[in-house]
A and B are shown apart, each in its own frame.
Chain A
Amino acid sequence: MSEKKLMLGNEAIARGAYEAGVKVSAAYPGTPSTEISENIVKYDEIYAEWSPNEKVAMEVAIGASMAGSRALVSMKHVGVNVASDPLYTVSYIGVTGGLVLVAADDPGMYSSQNEQDSRAVARAAHIPVIEPSDSSEAKEFVKFAFDLSEKYDTPVMLRTTTRLSHSQGIVELEERFEPIDIPYEKNIAKNVMMPGNAIKRHPVVEAREKQMAEDGADFPVNRIEMNDTKIGVITSGIPYQYVKEAIPNASVLKLGVVNPLPRKMIEDFAKKVDKLYIIEELDPIIEEQVKSWGIDCIGKEILTIQGEYSANMLRKAILGENNALTAPAQVPMRPPILCPGCPHRATFYALKKLGLHAAGDIGCYTLGAVVPLGVVDTTVCMGSSISTLHGMEKAGGREFIKDWVAVIGDSTFMHTGVNSLINMFYNQGTGTVLILDNSTTGMTGHQDHAATGKTLKGETVLAVDLYKLCHDGIGIENTRVVSAFDSEALTAAIKEEVAREKVSVIIVQAPCALLKSNKPKPAFRIDPDKCVRCGMCMKPGCPAITKKPDGAVAIDATLCNGCGLCEGLCKKGAIVR
């Protein structure tokens, strides 16, 4: 008997890539997709890399496919936006070696800035979408996706959601299939997308999609489970599990390919059931198409486009069951916070004391928006801090940004921030940019990037030097490097650069407190004889420092990592090791 393992959905996707004979994998980390690459890297047979952003990753995978090998590219839903330029066009080109894009959506926004539905992007790009419903299917569907990709000469999107990516289930391991690399053949009509060629490819795309819709009933991943015909459900992905839990007797059409839809199969199924429901999280992608064919069905009328579904939600909406539940207790929220010893806290505290606003970006430092720091005013998407600050200046003039900076992490800067900085320099902006260089991609759990000097495979390489990139490369004269924990120097640098009527960059360095290479220093404690309970040390909001009911301040030795920010704030010398 083959080995069975408990695997995260993402781990199973990685295993599927291995078994499918994938040779090249490229990605940029982003919750909930990150663990795909972190598991793929364990297979020596696969070349795997962190690319600086999703567009680059997509293009690397396209190149690998053009060279005749199977390639996987993975990203979170908003990463698909970044990659959509090559995606829409590779749909016309098609594939040589199979090409699969894993798009990880985040219903419920556990770690995202929006709740967009990647299926809509795939529909617009006219590429098929495969959606598994547990870890076991995740592995199998990756293999199916590669077969589909090569059979129909199309890139394929495998769509997952946070609940699938971060749930573990039982997976049966199988052998790796070793595909033979397809020999390269120059084919300008297919691979060079200029108007004259693209015009001839567009009909191919349309025909391909129609063919897949027709063949849909024969795809093994589309299946009908006939039961009681009073209730029929069309569903896919994780919601299928909720349907099985809530309405086990219902007849179910479980779609594995959610784009293009197998119209005939759906019409036949609809005829056999009394009442038809479409159960899909986020947007009514399936529902709107089914309704457009004149089929009577119920979906978002009783459900929502927001967040995750659950079995209880379906019991209530479809069966009208209202289980008498105990009301939740009213308790204080526990929002995520910057870790003890986080260098961003030191930076934000300095900004706060100077009374500055920050145009923010995507990363742990987005938490600089919340109390008690409350410095970050705006956050849109990866790389947007610098360009939005520039736009503010162009609208409101130098006066508007006289008390503003942009803050962006090192990984996010390498992702797309660098473009925005080039733009600010080129178009004569005068903004001050703080690159919060903690030597890693923090929020997603410590991934390397071009400026850390390590690859996904763990090789040591020459790191992109952020100072040289900004100073010598772009030509920003006023570029300097300061330690995040040198409060005096940092404050002086920010003051000086914000006042300067020229673009400037401050690289604020200090490694992430959670990096394994960053050994914590001995914890601090409060000397009760010296402490006057003024509360200065509590201002930056370090979770290791709390006030006891009697008003005494205490440092939790198990949380404190000895960064020293509070020690520097105490005027009484009451914080000691």
Chain B
Amino acid sequence: MQTKNIMIVGVGGQGTLLTSRILGGLTLRAGFDVKLSEVHGMAQRGGSVVTFVRYGDKVNEPIVEEGQADVLIAFEKLEALRYAHFLKKDGVLIVNDQRIDPMPVVIGAAQYPEGIIEDLEKKYKVLKIDAQKAALEIGNPRTFNIIVLGMAAKHMDFSHEDWLDVIAKTVPEKTIEVNTKAFELGYGM
């Protein structure tokens, strides 16, 4: 199998590491070679965060480069726009319809772009989701990233059963039930 390239982008603190680790667990279980690349340290303090996951028969480079991503999962709109050019021509962008103002916008030194998702839809295959709203509906706002992941799951090579199993093994035990619910919600969208 040709190497598949997944990117997860967001704002430090949104849970990109947790979701990439779920993906890592899945690929290992499916018998693929896999590499994940993460960001630790200073950028995690509310900065722009990107995680790469690559899996296939044999993976060398641990990062996904521009124009190579099969799936781009964005937990925040501005970050979707920042990294959209990493997508392949036929790549899929799953974007959470959330706006988090970066400091230059907060202090009025820059403008948060309007109509991000509409613009991206003109260039890429975009799946949009308001995961914050959906997460509130199932009663735990912190599960929004698993809902987004559920939506992205259909564009990857793992069975529904494997997803649920690996989520259960990765998230804290107390939250297995609500995270399973969150995944199913995204998967059904």
- Using a CB–CB cutoff of 8 Å, the interface residues on chain A facing chain B are 4-6, 8, 31-32, 34-35, 110-111, 134, 163, 166-170, 238, 241-242, 244-245, 310-312, 323, 325-329, 331-339, 364, 367, 370-372, 443-445, 538, 541, 543, 545-547, 558
Q: A31-B41, A111-B42, A541-B106 in contact; A334/B78 too (CB < 8 A)?
A: yes
Residues on A with beta carbons closer than 8 Å to the beta carbon of B100: 543
Q: Say if the beta carbon of B175 comes within 8 Å of chain A.
A: no
Q: Are A323 and B102 in contact (CB under 8 A)?
A: no
Q: Are B81 and A32 in contact (CB under 8 A)?
A: no
Q: Considering the chains assembled together, what is the distance between the CA atoms of A425 and B41 in angstroms?
A: 33
Q: Are B106 and A546 in contact (CB under 8 A)?
A: yes
Q: Considering the chains assembled together, what is the distance between the CA atoms of A323 and B78 in angstroms?
A: 25
Q: Which of B41, B47, B110, B113 contacts A337 (CB 8 A)?
A: B47
Q: Are A332 and B111 in contact (CB under 8 A)?
A: yes
Q: Considering the chains assembled together, what is the distance between the CA atoms of A370 and B102 in angstroms?
A: 13
- With A31-B41, A168-B38 already in contact, 5 other A-B pairs whose C-beta atoms are closer than 8 Å: A31-B42, A111-B43, A167-B38, A335-B102, A445-B40
Query: Interface centre among A32, A166, A241, A334, by most B CB within 10 Å?
Result: A334
Q: A335-B102, A538-B106 in contact; A168/B47 too (CB < 8 A)?
A: no
For this complex, 9 residue pairs linking A to B, each with C-beta atoms less than 8 Å apart, are A110-B39, A110-B41, A168-B35, A170-B33, A312-B65, A325-B67, A325-B85, A333-B48, A335-B104
Q: B166 to chain A: closest CB distance in Å?
A: 11
Q: A4-B28, A163-B62, A443-B41 in contact; A326/B85 too (CB < 8 A)?
A: yes
Q: Which of B11, B40, B81, B107 contacts A329 (CB 8 A)?
A: B81
10 smallest A-B Cβ distances: which pairs? A111-B41, A31-B41, A336-B47, A332-B110, A334-B102, A167-B62, A168-B36, A334-B48, A336-B45, A245-B61
Q: Are B113 and A331 in contact (CB under 8 A)?
A: yes
Q: Are A6 and B67 in contact (CB under 8 A)?
A: no
Q: Considering the chains assembled together, what is the distance between the CA atoms of A547 and B106 in angstroms?
A: 7
Q: Say if the beta carbon of B162 comes within 8 Å of chain A.
A: no
Within 8 A of A (CB), among B167-187: none
Residues on B with beta carbons closer than 8 Å to the beta carbon of A323: 67
Q: Considering the chains assembled together, what is the distance between the CA atoms of A334 and B46 in angstroms?
A: 8
Q: Are A328 and B85 in contact (CB under 8 A)?
A: yes
Q: Considering the chains assembled together, what is the distance between the CA atoms of A264 and B141 in angstroms?
A: 62
Q: Considering the chains assembled together, what is the distance between the CA atoms of A325 and B64 in angstroms?
A: 14
Q: Say if the beta carbon of B25 comes within 8 Å of chain A.
A: yes
Q: Are B102 and A333 in contact (CB under 8 A)?
A: yes
Q: Considering the chains assembled together, what is the distance between the CA atoms of A372 and B102 in angstroms?
A: 12
Q: Which of A32, A244, A329, A372 contacts B41 (CB 8 A)?
A: A32
Question: Which residue of the partner chain A has the closest CB to B132?
Answer: A558
Residues on A with beta carbons closer than 8 Å to the beta carbon of B65: 310-312
Within 8 A of A (CB), among B36-79: 36-48, 59-63, 65-67, 78-79
Q: Considering the chains assembled together, what is the distance between the CA atoms of A337 and B113 in angstroms?
A: 20
